[in-house]
Structure 1
Amino acid sequence: MTHTLIGFLGKSQKRDGCYSTANYDFDGHIETTQFFSLGLNNVIKPDRLVILGTSGSMWDVLFDSLVDVQEYEDQKLALIEAVEADQVTQAQLTACEALLREKLNVDWHLNLIPYGDSTSTQVEILKIMAKDIGIGDQVSLDLTHGLRHLPMLGLLSAMYLQTAKKVDIKGIYYGAMDRTSKADKPLTPVMRLDGLLKIADWITALHGFDKTGDIAPFSELLIQEGLSPNTAGLLKTASFYENTLSVTQARKPLRNFATNTAGELPGIASLFQDSLRERISWVNQDNIYLRQREKALFYLQRSDYVRAAAMGYEALITYHLKQKTPHADPENYELRDEIRTNLKSIADPIKWPDYKLLSNIRNSLAHANRSNRAEVQKILSSEAHLKQKLSELFEKLLPTM
């Protein structure tokens, strides 16, 4: 497992005839340097240091600060000319990185990147950042230097690497020059921006819930923010019951969760508490049938046809159970089985063919086999046919009450 520090190199405004040097404050440990990545490298000691810059970045200043210029005067002059002309090549950087490795005993990688002024070049930057990162590697990011838009791409790269390569992002750092103190020895604070990734995780979980209806991912995120594992675990329990179509059993853990989190949620979770509570507000409904109907329509909208048909059929049984015995337990197996057995005599005779069709579609999907009924075969022959037919059946058989 390799730990890689990735930093950016930009252009710096000259000040008093030289480039700005800062005393970066790492929780009391001071690193004095022109380039934040170099100070950060000394602190976190990664296995590899990758510096990314454009054809006009100040590669000459970086080289000058690290290598005896007199010994490599020709190489330095060529680099100065290339920077001024905005024509630095990867070949020049490769030659420099070999020299830096030899002189400084650091695994340097100097990579040329485009300016990122279009979607295609922005994608290219992300590819360059990811090319030497292995599955499960560790990565730290320095967002201090570089063009103004590059830190945004850096944050996106962290999200991309987490997802595509299962990378462990050890830290996202920023040397805040604009917050440098005015003491005799000015100190520049070092900011950790890791929380931005945590916010992105919450956004991803919220988006995932709206697509799948699975609330379980919020459990781990809440634990990370300091919520009791017992309380956060209630969401996993509720998710299990809903994923197994046991809506009534899902209600209890969600109600307990709502009771235990009546106040403000901790940390980053407070940003999303209204959205989370809105999505579990169905627990306050008295009518389980309406929740089952809602879930059937949700699954249908998300093209989850197996669960849509199964939940639609269960909602149908619940509806007739409640019509026949209003105060009965909707989860009672014997009562539900009685409704299934006697559905033909209970149901509206005009709608009986639709009841039967929904049952046949549900059985065929649940058992993953080819139905021997031509009508069902035709419905299952295309997504458009299935979606339309389930929508029609739900409209006919599952009233809003």
Structure 2
Amino acid sequence: MAGPNSSRLHQGSIDGFLTQPVHQVVSDNQANKDALMNTTLITFIGRTPKTSEGYRKTVYSIDGHRQPPSAFLGFNLKQYLKPDRIVILGTAGSMWDHLFEGDIDFGNDAENDRLELAFAVEESRVTQAMLDQIQPVLADKLGIDTHLQLIQVGTTLNEQIEVVELMSRHVDTGDQVQLDITHGLRSLPMIALLTAMYLRNLRQATIEGIWYGAFELRQDDITPVNNLQGLLQMADWLSAMHAYSKDGDYGVFSELLGEAGHCLKEAAFFERINNSAKAKQKLETWSIEGKIDQDPVARLFADELQQRIAWHRKGSRHDREQKLAKEYFKRGDYLRAAILALEAKISEELHQNREPDTRDHREEASKSLQAGSREFQTLSRIRNALAHGVRSPDKKIDKLLSDENSLATELQRLFKSLKI
């Protein structure tokens, strides 16, 4: 095989990459598939510095385990993680030739295709057709389902979306996914993180790892490989906060907090059936037993979450219901806001008259308020119209329900007049 790269194309099997016969590797991976479902390793290949001896190599340490020296972490992760499929993504100028000459010895296999690829890499003109042609050779050596995927640099939104689409095309529903972002261009790790979120939501994929080999942090010639998968927990919390701001359901935090979140889920149930007393009990239990400080990601959101459930610290029932009424009004949940505002006035009436908080006494207090307060009557009619979803016989109320701004303005007026 002639050419400027021919001496390198025949060099160097690195111990550790192919320590088993191909048929044994395939057998082991089949057992892994049966036990753990399908696992896909998605890795980017960029371009490390190059000398006359080839691309720069380093010794990676994954979970404290030293790996054979390599220029491409994807091969190390393939050996360490034992995936069922590996997808390697790179641009037209990525070091595709290294896959066939640096860390694995291919002997004389596909010499012409490998040489053509090496020349194309030097001129940044690698095509998908070239990769498709040589892909089976690498798959045979690795012993698993292997895909080489050409991607754009990702400088425009359309190119970035295309990268997401290409990555997701190689992931089946329910897959376990390992992402390696070590060798991608600087923008690609961000795209990979967004893709991970996309895959979890649309493909129900489990993101087991987001791996990054930190060459700049190497010590004693050992490059640490960090798993950044925990960043997805921050995305989960942000999504949960958004959902809570929208509908006020604490239950969205329950899965994020594990056992500590069970009380929040129960509190959400009792609040949404207008049992603020029970909801208060559950939130007090969570505040004491939540142990949120043990979760480093949860700590980032602890203050915000505590503020959003601060209503339960109000001393009396009517104070708590007033606070909740205002919170639901802010979220645009006008029905629940009206219900809680009415219940707050009833609770306040019982409190001032020092009467027991029973069903009969609440009904009597409601009748008394209906008779003595025009604002209370109007709020009750609005509540009824919202609850039943039909046209109100009261034309004024019916007109309010045809325009959100008018309804919100009227509720604000009523709340102020009733001192909610």
Length-normalised TM-score, structure 1: 0.85
Q: In the TM superposition, what are the counterparts of 1:94-133 in structure 2 within 5 Å? A: 94-133=132-171
Contact 1:67/1:100 (<8 A) preserved: no
Distance 1:113 1:374 in 2: 62
Distance 2:208 2:292 in 1: 32
Q: In the TM superposition, what are the counterparts of 1:311-326 in structure 2 within 5 Å? A: 311-323=340-352, 325=353
Aligned to 2:67: 31
SS in 2 for 1:135: coil
Structure 2: runs of 5 or more not aligned: 1-36
Deviations 1:107-162 (A, max 9, x none): 11111222122333222221221123233221111121111221222122212222
1:274 aligned onto 2:303: yes
1:269 and 1:395, CA in 2 relative to 1: closer, same or farther beyond 3 A? same
Distance 1:130 1:343 in 2: 60
Aligned to 2:122: 84
User: 1:218 is matched with which residue: 231, 238, 253?
Assistant: 253
Distance 2:377 2:107 in 1: 86
Aligned to 2:113: 75
Deviations 1:142-185 (A, max 9, x none): 12111122122212221222222221111222223233342xxx
1:187 aligned onto 2:222: yes
Q: Give how far 1:302 is off.
A: 1.9
Question: In structure 2, what residue type is equivalent to 1:217?
Answer: V
Contact 1:63/1:96 (<8 A) preserved: no
Q: In the TM superposition, what are the counterparts of 1:16-27 in structure 2 within 5 Å? A: 17-27=53-63
1:284 aligned onto 2:313: yes
1:336 aligned onto 2:362: yes
1:355 aligned onto 2:355: no
Q: Give how far 1:262 is off.
A: 7.8
Q: 378-387 or 113-122: which moved more?
A: 378-387
Q: Give how far 1:310 is off.
A: 2.1
Contact 2:114/2:134 (<8 A) preserved: no
Distance 1:364 1:258 in 2: 37
1:383 aligned onto 2:404: yes
Distance 1:159 1:63 in 2: 32
1:103 and 1:257, CA in 2 relative to 1: closer, same or farther beyond 3 A? closer
1:146 aligned onto 2:146: no
Distance 2:278 2:261 in 1: 17
Distance 2:90 2:267 in 1: 49
Query: Percent identity of the aligned residues?
Result: 39
Aligned to 2:237: 202
1:171 aligned onto 2:209: yes
1:9 aligned onto 2:30: no
Contact 2:245/2:331 (<8 A) preserved: no
SS in 1 for 2:250: coil
Aligned to 1:160: 198
Question: In structure 2, what residue type is equivalent to 1:357?
Answer: T
Question: In structure 1, what residue type is equivalent to 2:210?
Answer: I
Question: In structure 2, what residue type is equivalent to 1:3?
Answer: T
User: 1:238 is matched with which residue: 258, 267, 275?
Assistant: 267
SS in 1 for 2:274: coil
Deviations 1:78-130 (A, max 9, x none): 32333233332222222222332244432111112221223332222212211
1:117 and 1:322, CA in 2 relative to 1: closer, same or farther beyond 3 A? same
Over the aligned positions, Cα root-mean-square deviation in angstroms equals 2.6
User: 1:50 is matched with which residue: 87, 96, 105?
Assistant: 87
1:258 and 1:29, CA in 2 relative to 1: closer, same or farther beyond 3 A? closer
Distance 2:407 2:336 in 1: 13
Q: Give how far 1:337 is off.
A: 0.7
SS in 2 for 1:268: helix
Distance 2:342 2:335 in 1: 11
Q: 264-273 or 158-167: which moved more?
A: 264-273
Aligned to 1:396: 417
1:374 aligned onto 2:409: no
SS in 2 for 1:286: coil
Question: In structure 1, what residue type is equivalent to 2:122?
Answer: E
1:94 and 1:202, CA in 2 relative to 1: closer, same or farther beyond 3 A? same
Contact 1:232/1:257 (<8 A) preserved: yes
Question: In structure 1, what residue type is equivalent to 2:365?
Answer: I
Distance 1:261 1:89 in 2: 54
Aligned to 1:226: none
Q: Give how far 1:50 is off.
A: 0.7
Distance 1:87 1:383 in 2: 58
Question: In structure 1, what residue type is equivalent to 2:285?
Answer: N
Question: In structure 1, what residue type is equivalent to 2:384?
Answer: N
Q: Give how far 1:209 is off.
A: 2.5
Question: In structure 1, what residue type is equivalent to 2:215?
Answer: M
Structure 1: runs of 5 or more not aligned: 224-228
